[in-house]
Structure 1
Amino acid sequence: MAAGRTGGTKHACFLSKRVMMLMVLLLVSGCRGHGFGDEDHVEVEGIGSSCMESERRALLAIKSDMYDPDNWFSSWTGKDCCGWRGVACDHTTGHVTKLDLRYPYTYDVRDISDIMETMGGSKVNPSLQELKHLKYLDLSMNNFSGAPVPTMIASLVHLEYLNLSYAMFDGLIPPQFENLSNLHYFDLHGWYGYHLHVDDLDWLSRIPSLKYLDMSKVNLSKATNWFYVINSIPALEVLRLSHADLPYVPSPLPPFNLTAIATLYLSGNSNVTSAMLRWLSNATSLEKLVLSGCWSLTIESAQVALLNLKKLDLSDNSLEGEILEILNNVSSSSSLKHLDLRWNQLSGDIPETIGDLQSLQFLYLGCNAINGQIPKTIGRLHQLQVLGMSYNNLSGQIPMTMGGLCNLINLSLSNNNIGGELSNLFDGLSTCSHRASLSSLILEGNNLSGIIPTSMGQLSQLYTVDLSSNSLVGNITEAHFSNLTNLSKFIIASNSLNVILPNDWLPPFSASIIDMSFCHLGGKFPDWIQTQQQLQILHLFGVGVSGSLPVWFSDFSKGLKYLNLSSNYLTGRLPSAPQFILDLSNNSFVGPIPLGFAEATNLSLLILSYNHINGSLSLFFCNMHLLRMLDLSNNHLIGEAPDCLNSFPTILRSLHLNSNNLHGIIPSFLKHCKQLITLDFGENKLSGKIPTWIGRNLSSLKVLSLRSNLLYGTIPVNIVSLSSLQVLDLSSNNLFGSLPSSLGNLSAMVEKQNDTWSKFRPFIYQHESILITTKGSNLNYTTILWLVTCIDLSNNHLSGEIPKELTKLLGLRFLNLSNNHLTGRIPEKMGDMKQLESLDLSVNSLTGEIPSSFSSMHFLARLNLSYNNLSGKIPTSGQLSTFDSWTYVGNKDLCGTPLPACPVYRTPPDARVKDDEQLERLLEYTSIVVGFVVGFWLFIGTLIMKQTIRFAFFRRIDKTSDWIHVQNSILQEI
């Protein structure tokens, strides 16, 4: 019995211990459920982790397949997975309910090439489906390398939040996602270069609780029912379907059902119709409507009256019409804060009613054709933070009322015709009752005059100032910068300003960009520049500084990304190269290219033209794999152009080595530079033949100049494979043979080059300069080079006829075939080349007349047909009547204005009478002869046909003969 009691007591004690442990567990569980957050965890010694072990193992498996920059997963250690970064658990059950694996660093999703180089690849581990209680899953912004969207996610039926945006998934979006019926937030935003798509959207209608849906950059072109499916989800508050290739939706449209819709993005879809916009007029809850880049909209369809609208974006739609039609329509919306009408074709004046939009904070009207003045009522928009009106035709002055816009942060009025002074604006903003907010001021490319007021120095929030390309005058002193402690971008180029700043001046700012080009800085390079340790871009183009660069500048320039000191009077040795762009052209730098340039492997543009650089051209650029442009023209370089062997700048787009003393052949490494746009070896001593790989490999070439060298051989036939070629200059060489008829297939010269949006010309042309012989002189083409079309084959030994196929180049502006051995006639259809501005066919052996079609060339400013064998009368109509005799000299059989008149063969006054007498005499003689011949043969015929007559005739002759004989005898006797 005692033993039994003892055993019972032990058993009771054991039970009581277990009960105590259970109570502790319950207490811990209760504490976790009533007071601890996601990151608060309580562990009891000997009991274990506060998360499920199976889920912890699943998380570790998921981690093993994820890219881990800078040990982002360093907190994923220990037993308590609920405390790991990006993980959260249910307070009661301990199950993992949240997994946030979003890539931890922000970046610009538009720059995919740079991102792919730095971000490692990840995979979605199958263990993800073990986290069956997940409500929140974010895999966005990772690099899943084009893998398909994981179907297993559809098994996580408790998900309420799913974000797969910008994750580099590819392929079909699984229709099994219809199982996620609890989703409130669903983001599938695709990424550039990947092709997410759906075949049908029926599955989406089975997720009725959706409030947020983003399928931008997902190809929905096969989802013909998209409009009806979306309309069947009345809970939707945010819908983003930008650039989704939405199919056309025919009318009639279904009854409006999106009663909760507040944000709608449909940008980049060409099938957004006017009927849809009228349908949206029922969306009384709509606050944000973004329809940029739809292209199918008209200004009438864009006038949707939505009284609660806060944001309206109609940019990039080519809307035509008066801007007041839209502004008057939205002026009734008292809640409108954001209006974007950029990149359209709106015209007319800005109406005074603009001042009624007093809630407006962002107003973008740039890149239109708006004219007139900025209305004074703009000063009533006291909430305005951003005002953009660049690239229009605005005139007048900046209204004084704008000086009261104390909340204005960004003001951009660049590239208009605005004049007047800046005092009203700066003086007004400097007296705001609270500190003026102006951070960015861009007034570049106008007609502003007068001085820059020193009150600018009181706008302490200024970060960007761009007053370039105006007519500002006066001095820039320390007072202009007194309180500009935040100034980072200071651009005053192309004005008549004197920058008077002492060398020991200590600026209150640390700028990243300084551009004072074409201002006056005095003779010495400014020493205060060395205080700008954050400087990335320095432009002192044409500022008049001279002498050698200061000693400190060589090390200082190594931190720059872009340095432009061109068109000054600088001497001495070249400084070290900055990281990306260096322009030291038009100076007097001497000596060879420093060896240190070979280490500047990040250089993108290197421009050293028009200096006194000498020595041989070393292999320094072979390792510059990022080099896009190299210009060493107009120097004193000697030796052969080096041929890089295994390393060369494969992305090189522009190469200028012209006007040096280089010899040898054209380096063959260039065949690997398949992005070349400009290749200029002109005015050297290169020899050999023009290599055929130019036409075979350099398909992007627009400019090919090999002028004034020692090249020989024929013009390669495959040169016409350069379909983008606009300038072909092979003049002053030793080329022979005939002109290839296939030159007429140079397709870039067939049509006129388009001048549309010339203000936004390609970046590469801003640095190009090509010497072209035209209109009787050598001209350097720079800013308009991209519009030039030219063929110059002059001063060679070419022979044969001018191929008629050449006349198909209807977009050609300059043609020079002079000083060759061309023969034959000028093609009759050459006059069809109506864009020709200069035509030189002189010093050849051309024959025949000048085609009358030349009269149709209305743009022809220079014509030279001298020293040929042309003949006939010179056509005088049209443009031909403006040329002098030098155009035609040396053609002995040409006549007419401006040469001596053609000979005229006149008939004498009595010539007609004499001609009539001669005609009568000729007719008389003719009739006698004809009568005699006819009578003779009639008589002879009669004798032959009639025997009696013949006998009588001959008897008569005999009698006559006897009579004559008798008479003759009598006479002799007498």
Structure 2
Amino acid sequence: MAARSSTKLYGFVSSKHVPVILTVFLLSLGATPCCRSLEADRTTRCVETERRALLAIKSDMYDPGDWFSSWTGRDCCTWRGVACDDNATGGHVTELNLRYPYADDQYGFSTKGASKVNPSLLQLKHLKRLDLSMNDFAGARIPKMIASLVHLKYLNLSNAGFGGSIPPQLGNLSSLRHLDLGGCSNKLRADDLEWLSRIPSLMYLDMYCLNLSEATNWLHQVNSIATLRVLCLGQASLPNVPPPFPPFNLTSISKIDLSAYHNLTSTMWRWLSNASSLEYLYLDSCLFNLDVEVVQVALAALSKLKELNLANNDITGEISAVVRNISRRLKHLDLSNNSLSGEIPPSMGDLLLLEHLDLEHNNIIGEIPRSVGNLTNLVKLYLTKNNISGEIPKNIGNLLSLQVLNLDRNQLTGQIPENIEKLQNLTELSLDDNSITGQIPATIGILYNLEILSMPSNYLTGEIPRSLGDLCKLIVLDLSYNDIVGEVTDLIDGLSNCSEGTPLNTMYMENNNLSGIIPPSLGQFSEMEDLDLSLNSLEGNITQAHFSNLTYLLYFDISFNSLNVILPNDWIPPFSASDISMGNCHFGTKFPAWIRTQTNLLGLHLSRAGLSGNVPAWFWDLSRGLINLNLSSNHLSGVLPPSAFLSSTQLTTLDLSNNSFQGPIPVSLADAIELQLLTLSNNHFNGNLPSSFCNMSKLEVLDLSNNNLSGNVPDCHTSFPASLESLHLNNNSFSGRFPSLLYCEELVLLDLGDNTFSGEIPTWIGEALLSLRVLRLRSNLFYGTIPASVSNLTSLQVLDLSSNNLFGRIPSSLGYLSAMRIIQNNSAPLNFFYSESVEIIAKGSSFEYTTVLSLVTSLDLSGNNLSGEIPKELTNLLGLRFLSLSNNHLTGRIPEKIGVMTQLESLDLSLNNFSGGIPSSLSSLHFLSHLNVSYNNLSGRIPTGSQFLTFNDPSIYVGNKDLCGLPLRECPSDAAIAEDEESDSDKLETVFLITSIIIGFVVGFWLSAGTLIIKHSIRIALFRWMDKICDWIYVHCAVKYAKLKSKLQGRPKN
């Protein structure tokens, strides 16, 4: 049926309509060019004049790439950055986006050339959107012709390098909805913003970082635009607005940025509190000094706030006052860098929508409240630099959305919670500078998104968890300054086996107790830039394999371990480092030739490396680019070439101490004008000190001690480095007058000992060098009296004027040296970037003090010609540890109050003319371990008991003929005293005997008498017995008498 119909139709067409069809076909042939032309016009929407204008605009735009590569062909509406309308008669260009496509970020740019605004822009009369942002118009003014584009609704000229005044003609753009002139790369200014009132429908206004300091009407003009939703005037140098303020008219405002507005007052706060529709408020870096209560009142009215930034101000008061009435819609809260105090209130946990919380650098105390565990939407938490204590809450594991947890520089204790493993989204965990103890959780490796793990300066113990090697996204790892033990092999091997390689570029593990070897797999860390394994107990060999793929290595420190560096002389490192520290490693005796390849080197530390011989000449050429160089404590020798430091204009520290260098100090050091630390001590340098040292205006430490230098110290007058803090010239052969240090007001340590300086000690020492803590002038030829002005040195802890030719009395004002009157407990070093060392003679020996130098207090005036008595004021130095006045001509008695100097450890008064006895109060000095009073005129008994029981060496008392008692001879009165004691003992016994007899008689008499008085029968019996006794005595006496008389009568007479 269908076939038949087709045949029938075909027959009909063929037979009946062939002439008609043929005619139509012939007509169509003639009409084809016209139809094609019409079709082409309908396809090409671009207006030719506007296409040509665009090409003219392109010709003045800088394009280092091929961004304009699509700007070909007739249809400009298809070009990149161009949009047209759909007009049937031809498409007009309505949008032109020429934003520089290669900008690095909002404020920075890659290198680019200048562009121009071509006048052909005026041909785009239908333009509604124009974006020229992020270009560089080289300070050109904003063309006034832009104001002729009256259809513009969107204009973005931000960060485009425009300069000069903002043309007020922009007020002609009455249809404008969006105006962005902001950006710090613009150098625009406006003295009057009246033209803004002529743009009544403006919704977005950005003048960030412009100069509006003369636009005193800014607030009134901005307030007149009722349609405004976004206002960005941050860093715009806004002038102060005196009250009264206009009635608040910004009823639609959603975002206000007034950051860095330094005239923000409480009145302005109250005015802003009328912005009931406000959702985003940025008032950071305004430096307003307001109490938190003023802020609290305003914030209570802003109930729709989602973001609040009050960072970098000086808000004082309790943080709880800010949180108390703050919007519960808040997602972003930044109160960092203020002066907020108190504890984080539990109500912080009520801000359930919070995603970003930054409270860093305040004075917050107390513990982190458990309620923080309620903030389950939290993404970033910063509590850095506060005084927060206690433990990390165990419910921190509830914050499953958390990506950044930064608790640096607080006083947190306890261990890292085990449930931290639940924070699977965590990318940064920073716990620096706390007091966290215990081990790193073994499950730390579950945090597979971790990019930054930083926990230095805590008390972490135990070994590095094996799972740490599973963190294949780790970029920064810092576990330095802890007590971690064990090996690093599993960590390094694990990270090197990551399937896509490890992105780790920073590893700080210094100052732990790590042991074992550094595995060669370290060489697989192809992204590594900073590596520090110093100050551990690592051992083994370092070979080429350790560096095989470290092509980006910049900072490398393995110093102070026990490592052997085994690298061939012809080795060429794959890296070009800026800082290499391999001190205390064993290199062998040859200077490493591969250092020659490090042409970008800024710092090199090869101390205690066993190097010997001459430093190769090529090295001194390389060193001209160095900032820090330390080759100390080797066996290097030879003469430094005169040109060694030519053009070393950026050299900051140079340490060649403890070697065998000889010859003169190179004059080329004068080129090192940036030098801050120079130590050439313990070498064999000779000759004079070059006068070029006067030009080192930034020098802070100069140590030339223990050399063979001679001559006068250059007289620099006022040009001697005023920045000098430490000067060691001791143990040389310098001569001449006291160096001209009058303007070195920062000087903390001055050691001129063991030279041949002469002349008087200048009085200006006590007037100009008020920061001195150590003054050591021993073993020179100084003469004259001790300047009384020395007592003005209130920070002085060590004063050594011994072995000179000083005479006169000891100034009583020395008893007012403040730092010696108190006990020094501050162990902070005298200099934070140099290990100071001072030799002190005490306890009969020489001691070199370094690490505990800041705790030492010493006064040594020995070996002079001082006379007179010891000033009683000297006993005010209650913090003094070492006192030596020996080998002078001092007289008088040793002060009895010397016993109050309870910190004394060493006292030497020998070789003087002291008289009288040794004060018994010395026996109460419990720290006194050395005493010498020999060769004086002391007399009397040596005190006994307590501390004197330890002073049993007779030599410390010798030369005092009238001293006696242990350990010397027995005192003459000792025997008499013994006899007196024995006589006194006999008398005592006699008195005791007589007293006993009397007491016995009295007691016996009254016992008998009492019995007789009380008992009548006994009394009668006693009396009868006594009568019988009397009768018996009488009879016997009478008989004896009669017999005797009879015999006498019967004797013959002569």
* Alignment TM-score > 0.5, same fold: yes
**Alignment coverage as a number of residue pairs:** 844
Matched, 1:226 2:291: no
Which residue in the other structure is 2:670 paired with? 598
Q: Distance in 1 between matches of 2:241 and 2:736?
A: 59
- What's the Cα RMSD here? 4.0
Q: Distance in 2 between matches of 1:526 and 1:475?
A: 16
Which residue in the other structure is 1:85 paired with? 160
| Change in CA separation of 1:173 and 1:79 when aligned onto 2, cut-off 3 Å | closer
| Change in CA separation of 1:318 and 1:623 when aligned onto 2, cut-off 3 Å | same
Which residue in the other structure is 1:843 paired with? 911
| Change in CA separation of 1:376 and 1:71 when aligned onto 2, cut-off 3 Å | closer
Matched, 1:492 2:561: no
| Change in CA separation of 1:205 and 1:460 when aligned onto 2, cut-off 3 Å | same
Deviation by residue 1:173-223 (Cα, 9 ceiling, x = unmatched): 867888795572424348xxxx87746532332455361323346142457
Matched, 1:99 2:181: yes
Q: Distance in 2 between matches of 1:596 and 1:864?
A: 50
- State the Cα distance separating 1:714 from its structure 2 match: 1.8
Residue pair 2:192, 2:216 contacting (<8 A) in 1 also: no
Q: Distance in 2 between matches of 1:493 and 1:828?
A: 54
- State the Cα distance separating 1:587 from its structure 2 match: 1.3
Q: Distance in 2 between matches of 1:766 and 1:683?
A: 22
What are structure 2's unaligned runs of at least 5 residues?
A: 1-48, 54-76, 78-82, 86-90, 101-115, 128-134, 147-155, 992-1054
Matched, 1:126 2:201: no
Which residue in the other structure is 1:139 paired with? 209
Q: Distance in 2 between matches of 1:217 and 1:802?
A: 61
Alignment of 1:619-768 (within 5 A): 619-645=691-717, 647-668=719-740, 670-755=741-826, 758=828, 761=829, 763-764=831-832, 766-768=834-836
- State the Cα distance separating 1:790 from its structure 2 match: 2.3
Which residue in the other structure is 1:370 paired with? 436
Q: Once structures 1 and 2 are overlaid, which stretch shifts more, 773-782 or 448-457?
A: 773-782
Q: Once structures 1 and 2 are overlaid, which stretch shifts more, 500-509 or 425-434?
A: 425-434
Percent sequence identity over matched residues?
Answer: 46
Q: Distance in 2 between matches of 1:620 and 1:50?
A: 70
Alignment of 1:809-824 (within 5 A): 809-824=877-892
Q: Once structures 1 and 2 are overlaid, which stretch shifts more, 572-581 or 585-594?
A: 572-581
Q: Distance in 2 between matches of 1:170 and 1:819?
A: 74
- State the Cα distance separating 1:44 from its structure 2 match: 6.9
Which residue in the other structure is 1:610 paired with? 682
> 3-state SS of the aligned residue for 1:138?
coil
Alignment of 1:226-375 (within 5 A): 226-242=295-311, 244-248=313-317, 256-274=325-343, 277-299=345-367, 301=369, 304-305=372-373, 306-321=375-390, 323=391, 326-375=392-441
Residue pair 1:33, 1:92 contacting (<8 A) in 2 also: no
Rg larger in structure: 2
| Change in CA separation of 1:573 and 1:295 when aligned onto 2, cut-off 3 Å | same
- State the Cα distance separating 1:523 from its structure 2 match: 0.6
Residue pair 2:93, 2:124 contacting (<8 A) in 1 also: no
Alignment of 1:920-931 (within 5 A): none
- State the Cα distance separating 1:547 from its structure 2 match: 1.1
Which residue in the other structure is 1:61 paired with? none
Which residue in the other structure is 2:856 paired with? 788
- State the Cα distance separating 1:403 from its structure 2 match: 1.2
- State the Cα distance separating 1:734 from its structure 2 match: 1.5
Q: Once structures 1 and 2 are overlaid, which stretch shifts more, 475-484 or 212-221?
A: 212-221
Letter in 2 for 1:281: G
Residue pair 1:702, 1:727 contacting (<8 A) in 2 also: yes
> 3-state SS of the aligned residue for 2:350?
coil
Which residue in the other structure is 2:19 paired with? none
Deviation by residue 1:607-654 (Cα, 9 ceiling, x = unmatched): 111222111122111122222222222222221111114533222222
| Change in CA separation of 1:519 and 1:796 when aligned onto 2, cut-off 3 Å | same
Q: Distance in 1 between matches of 2:384 and 2:298?
A: 27
- State the Cα distance separating 1:845 from its structure 2 match: 2.8
Q: Distance in 1 between matches of 2:985 and 2:140?
A: 125
- State the Cα distance separating 1:698 from its structure 2 match: 1.9
Residue pair 1:313, 1:341 contacting (<8 A) in 2 also: yes
Residue pair 1:838, 1:861 contacting (<8 A) in 2 also: yes
> 3-state SS of the aligned residue for 2:781?
coil
Alignment of 1:440-589 (within 5 A): 440-574=506-640, 576-577=644-645, 578=648, 579-589=651-661
- State the Cα distance separating 1:780 from its structure 2 match: 2.5
Letter in 2 for 1:445: N
Which residue in the other structure is 1:36 paired with? 96
> 3-state SS of the aligned residue for 1:202?
helix
Q: Distance in 2 between matches of 1:255 and 1:664?
A: 72
| Change in CA separation of 1:295 and 1:880 when aligned onto 2, cut-off 3 Å | farther
Q: Distance in 2 between matches of 1:423 and 1:767?
A: 33
- State the Cα distance separating 1:493 from its structure 2 match: 0.6
Q: Once structures 1 and 2 are overlaid, which stretch shifts more, 464-473 or 299-308?
A: 299-308
Residue pair 2:587, 2:611 contacting (<8 A) in 1 also: yes
| Change in CA separation of 1:309 and 1:609 when aligned onto 2, cut-off 3 Å | same
What are structure 1's unaligned runs of at least 5 residues?
A: 1-20, 53-69, 105-121, 920-974
TM-score normalized with structure 2 length: 0.73
> 3-state SS of the aligned residue for 2:846?
strand
> 3-state SS of the aligned residue for 1:394?
strand
Q: Distance in 2 between matches of 1:214 and 1:487?
A: 41
Q: Distance in 2 between matches of 1:425 and 1:793?
A: 59
Deviation by residue 1:737-779 (Cα, 9 ceiling, x = unmatched): 22222223322333333446x5xx5654524222222232222
Matched, 1:801 2:883: no
Q: Distance in 1 between matches of 2:483 and 2:458?
A: 8
Residue pair 1:790, 1:813 contacting (<8 A) in 2 also: yes
Q: Once structures 1 and 2 are overlaid, which stretch shifts more, 732-741 or 467-476?
A: 732-741
Residue pair 1:154, 1:180 contacting (<8 A) in 2 also: no
> 3-state SS of the aligned residue for 1:529?
helix
Alignment of 1:423-438 (within 5 A): 423-438=489-504
| Change in CA separation of 1:772 and 1:99 when aligned onto 2, cut-off 3 Å | farther
Residue pair 2:711, 2:735 contacting (<8 A) in 1 also: yes
Q: Once structures 1 and 2 are overlaid, which stretch shifts more, 865-874 or 358-367?
A: 865-874
Q: Once structures 1 and 2 are overlaid, which stretch shifts more, 261-270 or 384-393?
A: 261-270
Q: Distance in 2 between matches of 1:171 and 1:747?
A: 50
Q: Distance in 2 between matches of 1:774 and 1:483?
A: 55
Residue pair 2:920, 2:943 contacting (<8 A) in 1 also: yes
| Change in CA separation of 1:876 and 1:437 when aligned onto 2, cut-off 3 Å | farther
Alignment of 1:187-202 (within 5 A): 187-189=258-260, 198=265, 201-202=269-270
- State the Cα distance separating 1:480 from its structure 2 match: 0.7
Residue pair 1:366, 1:390 contacting (<8 A) in 2 also: yes
Residue pair 2:472, 2:502 contacting (<8 A) in 1 also: yes
| Change in CA separation of 1:883 and 1:913 when aligned onto 2, cut-off 3 Å | closer
Matched, 1:379 2:445: yes
Deviation by residue 1:53-99 (Cα, 9 ceiling, x = unmatched): xxxxxxxxxxxxxxxxx998345486667869246979955989333
Deviation by residue 1:532-584 (Cα, 9 ceiling, x = unmatched): 11111000011111111112111100000000011111112225334221111
Matched, 1:862 2:934: no
- State the Cα distance separating 1:591 from its structure 2 match: 1.7
| Change in CA separation of 1:865 and 1:588 when aligned onto 2, cut-off 3 Å | same
Q: Distance in 1 between matches of 2:241 and 2:896?
A: 63
- State the Cα distance separating 1:826 from its structure 2 match: 3.3
| Change in CA separation of 1:400 and 1:763 when aligned onto 2, cut-off 3 Å | farther
Residue pair 1:76, 1:85 contacting (<8 A) in 2 also: no
